[in-house]
Amino acid sequence: MSTSDSFNQYLDKAVRHYASLFTLPSYRKSLAFSAVVCLAMGLPYTFVFYRSILGLIGGLALGVTLFTLTVLLNYFLRLCIFVKDPVYDLRRIAALSLSCWILWLPFVLIGSVAAVLFNVTWAVKLCLLGFSAVLIFRLIVLYVTSSSGTMRFLAASIIPPLVFLASFTFLWLDVASLFGVLVFLLCAFCTAFISSFLFIALLNNVGNKAVGFPSLSIFRAFLLNWIADLNAPFEGFLEKLGVERSLDVSILRFNKGDRSIFVIVPSVHPGPFKNVGSSLLPSMLKGDIERELDGVACVPLGLLGHDYDLTSQVESQKIVEYVVKSAATVKADVDKATRFVKVQNELATVCCQIFGETVLLTLSLAPKTTEDLPPELGFILQRKAEKLGLKNCVFVNAHNSIDGAVDLKDALDALESAAALCLEKAASLDKLPFKVGAATVKPKEYGLSDGMGLGGITVVVVEVGGQKTAYVVFDGNNMVSGLREKILSALVSMGIHDGEILTTDTHSVNAVTLNARGYHPIGEVMNHEKLIDYVNEATRVALASLSPAKVGFRCIKVPRVKVIGREALEKLCVLTDVVIQRAKKAAALLFPATFLLLMLVLLWV
C-alpha cells in the first residue's frame, strides 16, 4: 500500500502542477487587466518624452492604442494562427497577452524613471530590453503548449511583440539611432532564439534520460488531453513505455429468472486520469455487460495499484470485449450461500459472504483512509482461504474513506487479522437458498467534476435466511470519511440488516477539476442527503426485485494486455518535479546571462 500511496501522491502532485496552468482569469478579466497595464505603460512613458499636458494626452492615446492592438491581435491569432489549435482559445490567448504586458511593464516603468534621472535614451533601451524578455517568454510558452506547427508557432511568438514595439517607436525619432535599434533587434532575435531553445533542450533532456521522450512533448500531450479530451497523444507515450501482462478478471454471476446480476472485479487499476488508459474501465464494463447481457453489473476495485493502469482505451476495450464474451458463458447453477459476516478490529473492517464455493470478501479501513491495497495481501488471504477449503476468492478493496494518512504496517496487519477471522466465521456457517435483487441509479445533477462517474450508483441486495445485505457501489474515486457510516445507517430503516459501501476508484473523475487534490471523492461537493436518497431509491428497486437465484463463478485470464507498469509510472510521475527543478536552475543561470549580454549590446549601440 505504501508503494501505491506514493504513486497516488506523485500523480496527484503532478496533476496539481498541471492544474495550476489552468487557473487563468476569464476573458473579460484578462481584457480589463490588459487595459489597466497598457494605460500604466503609456502614460508615464510618453510623459518622459513630452513633459506637458500634451505628454499626458499622448500617453493616454498610446495606452488606448496598445490595448486596441492587443484585442485585434488576440482575434488575429485565434482566427488565423490558432484556428485549429485546441489549446489556444480566445481566453488563453488573452491571458498570454496579459502575461506579456505584465512582463514588459517593469522594464517600461524602470526605463521611465531612469530617463527622468539620467538620460531619455534609457527609456528606449529598457523598452527594447522588455521586448526581448517578452519575445523569449512567448517563444518558450508557445513552443511548449501549442500544437499548431513550426511556422504558426513562430508567427504567434514574433508578430505581436513587433507590432507593440512599433507603437513605441514614434516617440524615439529624435532620441534614438535607427541603425542602433535595428542592430539591437538583430541581436535580440538571435539571443532570444538561442537562449529559448537552449532552455527547452535542457528540459527535454530530463525526459529523454528518464523515459526516452522529450519532457515537453509529454507535457504537450497532457495539455491536449486536459483541454481537448484528446487521449491518443498521451496514450502514445504510455503504449511505448508499457509492458505486456496477462490479467485476471473475476466474474460472479447471479441468475434470477430471465435477468442476471454481475459482479466483475478485474486485476486492472482504473487510472491514471480522465479518459486516459483504464480510467473509464468500470463504467465501460458495466455499460457493455448490461447492454449485451441484459442485466445489472457493478465493477468494484480489486487489490492493486497504479502500476496496473492500462496504457490506452484500446487496451480497455480489449478487456471489455473479453469479459463480455466470457461472462455470457458463466454457468450459474449453485443455489446456496452463507449469511453475511462482518469482522471489525481497532482499524479494519472485513466483510465476507460465500456463494457456492466462491468467497466474496471486502476490505476497508473506514473511517480511516482506505486507498489502494497491494496484490500481495490478496495472495496471503488466498492461502488462508484455501486452508479452509475455499478455492475461489474475489477480494474487493472497498476504497470508501479518505481522511489523511494511515501507517502501512498497522493497516495491513489489521486487515489480515480481521480477514482471517472473517473467513473462518463464514466458512463455519451453513449454506442456505438465497435471493438477489439489484438496481442502478444515475444522479442527473452530479457528474465527473463532482466526483460521480458514468456508472452512477449500483445496489445489490442479497437475502439469506431472512438476513438482507446491501452492497452499494459508487462509480467514483473514494469517499469522504463518515459518509459510508451515514449510508449504512440509512439502509437499516429500509430493512437492510448489514452491508458495505464500495467505490470503483474510477480515475475518470481525476484531472477534471482545479482543486488541490485534482478530483472530488464521493460526498465532498455532493449533498449527503441527496446521495442517501439515491441509494435508498436504488435499494427500494433492488428489494422489490428480490427473487431466488443461482450463482456461478469464473476467473478468466486476458492475455497480452499492456499496463503502464511500476517503473514507468514512477518515472512519469517524478518527471514533473524533476523538470520543474531543472527549469528553476536553468532559468536562474541562463536568463540573467542573456539579459546581461543584451544590456552590453544596448550600451554599445
Number of domains comprising the chain: 2
In this structure, are 372 and 470 located in the same domain? yes
pLDDT at res. 18: 58
Asked if pLDDT for residue 350 goes beyond 50, the answer is yes
C-alpha to C-alpha distance for 385 and 253, rounded to whole angstroms: 21
**Average pLDDT score over the chain:** 93
Query: Comparing 208-212, 313-317, 336-340, which segment has the lowest mean pLDDT?
Result: 208-212
C-alpha to C-alpha distance for 388 and 263, rounded to whole angstroms: 23
Q: Are β-strands 259-266 and 243-256 bridged in parallel, bridged antiparallel, or unpaired?
A: antiparallel
597 found inside a domain = yes
In this structure, are 281 and 366 located in the same domain? yes
% the chain with pLDDT above 70? 96
pLDDT at res. 302: 97
Give the Cβ contact number of residue 582 at 10 Å.
16
C-alpha to C-alpha distance for 208 and 215, rounded to whole angstroms: 7
235 found inside a domain = no
390 found inside a domain = yes
pLDDT digits (tens, 9 = 90+) for 5-21: 555 565 566 656 555 55
Residue 142, helix vs strand vs coil: helix
Asked if pLDDT for residue 73 goes beyond 70, the answer is yes
In this structure, are 353 and 501 located in the same domain? yes
Beta bridge partners of 474: 457, 503
Place of cell 447492454: 291
The predicted model gives 579-595 an average pLDDT of 93
Segment (H or E) for 237: helix 232-241
Give the Cβ contact number of residue 52 at 10 Å.
9
Residue 588, helix vs strand vs coil: helix
pLDDT digits (tens, 9 = 90+) for 170-183: 888 888 888 889 99
C-alpha to C-alpha distance for 496 and 490, rounded to whole angstroms: 9
Query: Which phi and psi angles does 305 have, rounded to 5°?
Result: -130, -165
Question: In sequence order, which residues have a C-beta less than 8 Å from that of residue 474 and are 6 or more positions away?
Answer: 452, 453, 457, 501, 502, 503, 504, 522
In this structure, are 373 and 499 located in the same domain? yes
236 found inside a domain = no
568 found inside a domain = no
Segment (H or E) for 261: strand 259-266
pLDDT digits (tens, 9 = 90+) for 418-436: 999 999 999 999 999 999 9
- Dihedral angle of Cα 191, 193, 194, 196, to the nearest 10 degrees: 110
**CB distance 352 to 361 below 8 Å:** yes
pLDDT at res. 100: 98
367 prior amide bond cis, ω within 30: yes
In this structure, are 158 and 270 located in the same domain? no
Asked if pLDDT for residue 1 goes beyond 70, the answer is no
523 found inside a domain = yes
In this structure, are 88 and 175 located in the same domain? yes
Place of cell 508578430: 159
In this structure, are 586 and 513 located in the same domain? no
234 found inside a domain = no
In this structure, are 144 and 263 located in the same domain? no
Q: Which three cell numbers stand for residue 172?
A: 524615439
Measured CA to CA in angstroms, residue 412 lies from 268, 270, 371, 478, 573 at distances of 21, 22, 12, 19, 25
Give the Cβ contact number of residue 334 at 10 Å.
17
Asked if pLDDT for residue 408 goes beyond 80, the answer is yes
C-alpha to C-alpha distance for 45 and 114, rounded to whole angstroms: 11
Query: Comparing 280-284, 406-410, 492-496, 590-594, which segment has the lowest mean pLDDT?
Result: 406-410
C-alpha to C-alpha distance for 386 and 393, rounded to whole angstroms: 9
In this structure, are 393 and 536 located in the same domain? yes
pLDDT at res. 174: 80
For residue 97, how many C-alpha atoms fall within 13 Å in the half-sphere facing its CB? 38
Place of cell 437492510: 496
233 found inside a domain = no
> Which residue range forms the structural domain that includes residue 407?
243-563
Full-model pTM: 0.88
In this structure, are 296 and 208 located in the same domain? no
In this structure, are 455 and 346 located in the same domain? yes
Nearest to 508 by CA among 496, 499, 520: 520
In this structure, are 125 and 271 located in the same domain? no
% the chain with pLDDT above 90? 81
DSSP annotation of 265 reads E
Question: In sequence order, which residues have a C-beta less than 8 Å from that of residue 162 and are 6 or more positions away?
Answer: none
pLDDT digits (tens, 9 = 90+) for 250-309: 999 999 987 999 999 999 999 998 999 999 999 999 999 999 999 999 999 999 988 899
Residue 350, helix vs strand vs coil: strand
pLDDT digits (tens, 9 = 90+) for 293-331: 999 999 999 999 888 999 999 999 999 999 999 999 999
The predicted model gives 395-424 an average pLDDT of 94
